[in-house]
Structure 1
Amino acid sequence: MTRVGGRRPDPGGPGDAGDPPQVIVVEDDADLRLAVTADLAGAGLGVDEAADIATADVALSAGGYDCVVFDRMLPDGDSVHYVQRRRQDGWSVPVLFLTARDSLADRVVGFEHGGDDYLVKPFALAELTSRVLALCRRSGLGRPSILRHADLVVDCARRQVRRAGVLLSLTAKEFAVLEYLMTRPEQAVGRDELIEHCWDSSTDPMSNVVDVVVRRLRGKLREPELVHTLRGRGYRLSGPHPPA
């Protein structure tokens, strides 16, 4: 395994606050792996490389990573199944899948098995780096594995949401928005902030994409309402009564 930029992760966990985010790129195409690694390192990240799941597993078991870039099809298997197993054990490091598979069904499988983002080959290196930086910011929130608010429980590692004990089915974006709001209970969160942390850089900040996702999320969370609209300010996760 090769290290580019930054510092090697401490086996005890993530680095100090002043250290650059740590990423591992798991890709068996040597040329693509080199290009991705160089671009991420150029953005100030510390990057490790691996060509298969077994090598990556050794590094990931040592800890210290803020994000993993996983090619889907590797010499020793489909990385989706590896990520699914790790999620079941409570592993919460953000994962971006790379793949030549571009069908909706393939993307859904990636998200349902624990992926946080999904990028189809061929892709622009600048877009990949932007998405990885966003995932590293999310990782740096220092959130606990389980988030609770009122009768709502979000299991970040298993990507499960329960309200009053009932398991809810959320899309990847609905989960991302709810998870972010849960890290900031009783705080006003603007639409631009949600776009920055839950969408990629190509999203138009003037679009109504956030409102659409929040509206669907509210419907799935059911009454009494927990996600409230603050006119001209965004949203707030609050108690069952609208905040003043």
Structure 2
Amino acid sequence: MRILVAEDHRVLARTIATGLRRQAMAVDIAGTGDAAERMCLLTAYDVLILDRDLPVMTGDEVCRRLRELQDPPRILMLTAAGELTDRIYGLTALGADDYLAKPFDFAELVARVRALSRRAPKPPPTVLRFGSISLEEARHEVSVDGRPLELTPKEFAVLHLLLVAGGAPVSHDELIRTVWDEYLDRRTSAVRATVSRLRVKLGDPGLIAADKEEGYRLCD
């Protein structure tokens, strides 16, 4: 899941980003409204966490502009303006998909982001299967031949992407874009190390094939 946090308070933005990354989300940060709009035009984000009070271009204007796109990201307004009239205005006049007032509980923020990401015309199946592997998205459960596995959030996200591909190769860059974020050095060994641990946990190194040109794919 790819998330953009548009927040000019640097400490809060980094705190939110760090917390979401621990939930296996790829997170980028924008400190101004114009940067947030530009990044949304360049990248297909699943959810935009948007502060209303942004410099250069307000969050309200960003929301209005993005709503004109054919396929805009889901917008969660996260703001200190938490009165009932503010919430109604954000959801109706501005067209936000959800509205959360500061201060907030982080667990609720995560739940709202996940709920927004599921709002798609054709949601993927709850359970993904490939050969002996079974992954249940809602419960974050994985099993091989009925044997449950304990995976880290990154391992789960990598396996999920490979299962969605259904045996087609997933490139190194696509894994970084989807599971990590724009700040990860493309030369890092993080992807290779995560796949290596995942192979061990799956119990069969041959279940995930690696190709220097194409990337990684699941094997029967």
TM-score if structure 1 supplies the norm length?
A: 0.50
Of the candidates 24, 43, 53, which is equivalent to residue 31 of structure 1? Answer: 53
Deviations 1:54-91 (A, max 9, x none): 969xx8xxxx96xx7978842xxx2515755x89xxx7
For 1:208 and 1:141, locate their aligned partners in 2 and report how far apart those are by CA, in whole Å: 34
1:178 is matched with which residue?
159
2:125 is matched with which residue?
144
User: Residue type of the partner of 1:80?
Assistant: A
Aligned pairs for 1:27-66 within 5 A: 31=53, 35-36=58-59, 38-39=61-62, 44=69, 45=72, 47=75, 49=77
The Cα shift of 1:188 comes to 1.7
The Cα shift of 1:236 comes to 1.0
Q: Structure 1 residues 72 and 153, CA, compared in 2 at 3 Å: closer, same or farther? A: farther
Q: Check conservation: 2:78, 2:99, Cα contact below 8 A.
A: no
Is 1:204 the counterpart of 2:185 in the alignment? yes
Q: Check conservation: 1:218, 1:227, Cα contact below 8 A.
A: yes
Aligned pairs for 1:2-13 within 5 A: none
Deviations 1:20-64 (A, max 9, x none): 98857476xx52598455556656536463666x969xx8xxxx9
Q: Check conservation: 2:154, 2:194, Cα contact below 8 A.
A: yes
1:122 is matched with which residue?
none
2:195 is matched with which residue?
214
Dislocated runs of 4+, deviation >6 Å: 68-72
Mark the runs of 5 or more structure 2 residues left unpaired by the alignment.
1-43
The Cα shift of 1:182 comes to 0.3
Deviations 1:106-165 (A, max 9, x none): xxxxxxxxxxxxxxxxxxxxxxxxxxxxxx9xx788421210111211111222212222
Q: Structure 1 residues 207 and 194, CA, compared in 2 at 3 Å: closer, same or farther? A: same
Q: Secondary structure at the match of 1:182?
A: helix
Is 1:189 the counterpart of 2:174 in the alignment? no
For 1:69 and 1:173, locate their aligned partners in 2 and report how far apart those are by CA, in whole Å: 28
The Cα shift of 1:184 comes to 0.9
The Cα shift of 1:195 comes to 1.5
For 2:102 and 2:153, locate their aligned partners in 1 and report how far apart those are by CA, in whole Å: 18
Q: Check conservation: 2:78, 2:102, Cα contact below 8 A.
A: no
The Cα shift of 1:92 comes to 5.5
Q: Check conservation: 2:132, 2:145, Cα contact below 8 A.
A: yes
* Total equivalences in the alignment: 160
Q: Structure 1 residues 71 and 187, CA, compared in 2 at 3 Å: closer, same or farther? A: farther
Of the candidates 117, 128, 145, which is equivalent to residue 94 of structure 1? Answer: 117
Deviations 1:194-238 (A, max 9, x none): 112222111222222211111111111112631111243211111
User: Residue type of the partner of 1:49?
Assistant: M
Q: Secondary structure at the match of 2:197?
A: helix
Q: Structure 1 residues 48 and 70, CA, compared in 2 at 3 Å: closer, same or farther? A: closer
Q: Secondary structure at the match of 2:148?
A: strand
Q: Secondary structure at the match of 1:175?
A: helix
For 1:194 and 1:212, locate their aligned partners in 2 and report how far apart those are by CA, in whole Å: 13
| CA RMSD across the alignment | 4.2
Q: Structure 1 residues 39 and 203, CA, compared in 2 at 3 Å: closer, same or farther? A: farther
Q: Secondary structure at the match of 1:195?
A: helix
Mark the runs of 5 or more structure 1 residues left unpaired by the alignment.
1-19, 96-135, 240-244
Q: Structure 1 residues 158 and 238, CA, compared in 2 at 3 Å: closer, same or farther? A: same
TM-score if structure 2 supplies the norm length?
A: 0.54
Q: Secondary structure at the match of 1:225?
A: helix
The Cα shift of 1:181 comes to 0.5
